[in-house]
Amino acid sequence: MSKLKTDYLVIGSGIVGLSFAIKAADHGKVLIITKGKSDESATSYAQGGIAAAIGKKDFPKNHFEDTIKAGAGLCDEKAVDILVNEGVMRVQELIELGMKFTRNEKGELDLGREGGHTKNRIIHAHDYTGREIENFLLEMVRKNTNITIKENHMAVDLITEHHISKNKNKNKNEKVESCFGAYVLDDENADIYSIVADFTILATGGGGRMYPFSTNPSVSTADGIALAYRAGCRVRNMEFIQFHPTALFYKIDPVFLISEAVRGFGAKLRLQDGSLFMKNYHPAEELAPRDIVARAIDFELKKRGEDFVYLDITHKSDEELESNFPNIYNTLKKKFKINMSKEYIPVVPAAHYMCGGVIVDYDGCADLKFLYAAGETASTGVNGSNRLASNSLLEGLVFAHRAFVHSLKLKEENAEKYKKEFEEQIPEWDKGGAANLKEWVLIKHELQELQDIMWDYVGIVRSTPRLEKALRRIDSIYREIRDFYNRTIITRPLLELRNIALASQLVIRSALNRKESRGLHYNTDYEENTSPSRNDTILEPAIYKKSHFNNC
């Protein structure tokens, strides 16, 4: 196979990719590629729920204020306004489609509360909301004859004018304006071919696997961010990595998350000597924003030379806990032999969410025409320097919808027709190289080294000397990976390693460019800046020159 053609190419099968595909399928053929199984996405691991102001005593303005406060001065207020207002409609739409959320005895939605929220507004399906939404949307997708899913398929690179100009032996540094689809690896058949699409959306999630301890699944290797940056798109605020405060302290990959909703239900954090400590860090104590709770835990652990703190919810009964948190309660009890109604839960922070990403406008448009990005891959401006709990699934729904609506507008204008002259000129992938398994073993070891560097030097608390040292070492690793990539047969592990290394570079460079401590970026060499004024960190690829936001 050398080339496929589709109306819509969706890269990723989480809440963004699936919800976009379902809507787009009414207007054309949709092809979803996912590098593993269809249900293996960060969405499936989301326990808490979806934040939306649908309670009787809650309003979008309340949700807006909480989001802005959590973002510590870096939120785009217009983007947040879109999120909290349109988010209510998107959640109601999901319910009308048939998604079942947990309800109370009166039949009303059971609204939970999490850190940073001043109201109970977390709509959930017990404590496995993401998994239920993933399965619900996948069922709809599989029934739709206009949607095809290709599992074990991974995007290698986005197709742009750059590839066409190379084929014509023109200046490879000429202006790059459009996305024509992607070169894709069929992992099972070790084949790379092109998928040409009128519209492409990056829905690949984040890059938590840059770190050795992460709540993210193994597929979270920053693929969409790396694809877009290599193709010439800007990225923003990559330094803001959210560490979830309460991952189970146990050697398992990915680490098991203890949802923030457990603290919303009354759980307290205790040191190993049993004493409470969050009252020393924030008036909201355990319900403070995630960056504050994670830093407090990190500080206490380093001060005492200990490996974990405890989460205590032993004042609740077995019946209450199993009813409200069936997944967490039963997993802890059966798999880890911890009865959370009688025993403290050992917890530690773990890499959880990327608040930065590919710069998009309010319609999800990236810097290349016909290219969209949404969810954790994108930087919409919603999250600022710290994402408010349970805004992630909502953001995915809202901006996937806006991207779909925008693509319809372009379709009606026949804007995609301008691309036809280029499609025939797209070259086949040059497979080149030969497998060098002996050398691959050496390169593979560099993943562990990379993760250790990120954990030790680019973690919850940073310093400029540590960041500079990390950048020197990551730069060296990335050069070796690129050299090996150019000389060998391409595989999924190699692509993931290349993407993780590039994303790590972007995180460190962004962190060095931020001369302050703010939100999730805490540098001991700089005072914390609480100013409400925005000062985004933007990294722009140097090899391409183009106008930004070409209206997709």
Tokens coding 317: 């009964």
Read off the DSSP letter of residue 209. G
User: In whole angstroms, how large is the CA radius of gyration of the chain?
Assistant: 23
| Pair of tokens at residue 80 | 């947040």
Q: Are 482 and 498 in contact (CB under 8 A)?
A: yes
Instruction: Spot the catalytic one: 209, 263, 290, 462.
Output: 290
Catalytic annotation present for 487:
no
Structure tokens at 375: 């969810």
Tokens of 361: 């406008």
Element (H, E) at 197: strand 191-202
Kind plus residue range of the DSSP H or E element containing 462: strand 461-462
Peptide bond into 254 cis (omega under 30): yes
Q: Are strands 111-112 and 147-151 parallel, antiparallel or unpaired?
A: unpaired
Beta strands at 3-11 and 30-34: parallel, antiparallel or unpaired: parallel
Q: Is 41 helix (H, G, I), strand (E, B) or coil?
A: coil
124 close to 50: Cβ distance less than 8 angstroms: yes
β-strands 461-462, 522-523 pairing: parallel
| Euclidean distance between CA atoms 22 and 5, whole angstroms | 18
Q: What angle do CA 409, 411, 414 make, to 5 degrees?
A: 115
| Three-state secondary structure call for residue 256 | coil
Strand partners, 313: none
Place of tokens 């691959």: 440
Cis peptide before 217 (omega within 30 of 0): no
In angstroms, the CA 178 to CA 181 distance is 9
Catalytic residues: 290
